[in-house]
Amino acid sequence: MRKSVTDLGVISNIEGTVLTPEDREFILAPELSGLIFFARNYQSPEQLRALTDDISSLRPDLLLTVDQEGGRVQRFRNGFTRFAPMMAFEGCYQQDRAAALSLARHGGWLLAYELARQGVDLTFAPVLDIERDCSRVIGDRAFGHDAEAVTELAGAWCQGLRDAGMKAVGKHFPGHGAVVADSHLELPVDPRAREALDYDIRPFASLIRGGMLAGIMPAHVVYPDVDSDNTAGFSPIWLQQILRQQLEFEGVIFSDDLSMAGAASGGDFYQRSLAAAHAGANALVVCNNRAAATEVLRAVRDLRAQGAASLSLQDWKVARPEPQESKKQQALGLLREAGLVIE
C-alpha cells in the first residue's frame, strides 16, 4: 500500500529489560507507531520474548524493531547467531557470485527468523551504502565497494528477510559511504556532484524497482549540489522529488535517529520533527532521550490535528514462526563454513 507523505508516527525506545510504569504509560501514546530495542534491552532470548509479549499485550499494533545488521551493529548477541560484518560477503562474491548470493539469502533468513522467534518484527537493514574506505561510521557495515556488488548482495539479503516474513529497510539514502564524518557525532557534508551521487543511488533505485524495499531511511548528510540547506532527511528535494517522484518509491520513509548530532541542523526536537515530516518522512525515529521523544510525539500530535493521518505499521508485523531447527542448522552450517559467522 502506498504511504502518503501525511501518514505520520513515532518510533522510540524503552529504558531497560522490562517495562517500567513510565514505559507502560509512554507506549500507550497514540502517536507511537513502534519501538526500537538496544543492547541494554537484552539479556537473553527468553527475556526478550517475555518483553515483546508484555509490550504486545498492551499495544499489539506496535512495530518492534532493532538495528541487527551483524558485525559491530548487532544489539542482540548471546543466544543469537553472531554474524560477521556484511563486508565479509564481498570476498565471497568476488570468488563465486552465485554462491555468495545464496549465502546472503541464507543469512537474511536466519537473522530474521531468530528475531521473529522472539517477537521482533523488523531489523533496520540492509545497509546500501557503497564503501570507499573513508567513512568512520559505515566501513565494514557495507556489502561492498561497488554498486553492482552492493545491489546484488543486499538484494539477496532482502530476499532472505522476505523468506522469513520480514520487510526490508534500505539505508542510508542516497548514500553515506563517501563522507568521513560520523553523523552520530557531527554534520557530514558530501560535496560531490549529482552525477557522482547517482552512482551511490543505484542500489536504492534497483531494489526499489525490484519491489524489495518496503522502507527507506535517509542519511543525516548534506549534499550541497542537490540541496545546500538541508540534510537528506530534512529535504523535500531528496524525499519527495527524487525518492518519491523520480524513483517512484511508495513505501515508508523512516527518519534516521533525530537525536543524532547530524540532525541538530533541524533545530530543537519539535522543529526537527516538523522538518522531517514536511520533507516527507512518515516514521520519526527518536532514541535514548525520553524528553526528546515527548517533544516528537507532541509535534506529531499537532500535525495530526492539522490533518496528517496516523501511521499504522500493523501490516509490518511478523507472525512468530514455528521452530525450524533443521533449516536453521543448514543455514548456519553454510555460513560458518564460509566464515560469515563469528564463533
- HEC assignment per residue over 4-64: CCCEEEEEECCCCCCCCHHHHHHHCCCCEEEEEECHHHCCCHHHHHHHHHHHHHHCCCCEE
In tens, the pLDDT along 208-248 reads 999 999 999 999 899 999 999 999 999 999 999 999 999 99
Please tell me the CATH code under which domain 38-53+69-276+315-337 is placed: 3.20.20.300
Task: Enumerate residues 6+ apart whose C-beta is below 8 A from 186.
Answer: 261, 262
Task: Enumerate residues 6+ apart whose C-beta is below 8 A from 266.
Answer: 231, 234, 258, 272, 275, 276
Reply yes or no on whether the pLDDT at 251 is more than 70. Answer: yes
Reply yes or no on whether the pLDDT at 4 is more than 50. Answer: no
In tens, the pLDDT along 160-195 reads 999 999 999 999 999 998 887 666 667 889 999 999
**Which pLDDT score is estimated for 264?**
74
Count Cβ atoms within 10 A of the Cβ of residue 193 and give its class: 0-12 exposed, 13-18 middle, 19 or more buried.
exposed
Reply yes or no on whether the pLDDT at 1 is more than 60. Answer: no
What mean pLDDT is predicted for residues 4-17?
Answer: 88
- In the chain, % helix, strand, coil (3-state, to 5) comes to 45, 15, 40
- What is the average pLDDT score of the chain? 94
Q: How confident is the model at residue 2 (pLDDT cuts 50, 70, 90)?
A: very low
**Which pLDDT score is estimated for 262?**
65
Catalytic residues, by residue number, are 184, 256
- The closest alpha carbon to 312, from 16, 32, 20, belongs to 32
pTM: 0.95
Q: How confident is the model at residue 286 (pLDDT cuts 50, 70, 90)?
A: very high
- Where would I find the H helices in 164-289? 194-209, 236, 269-279
Residue 218: cis peptide before it, omega within 30 degrees of 0 = no
Count Cβ atoms within 10 A of the Cβ of residue 343 and give its class: 0-12 exposed, 13-18 middle, 19 or more buried.
exposed
- The closest alpha carbon to 97, from 153, 50, 135, 151, belongs to 153
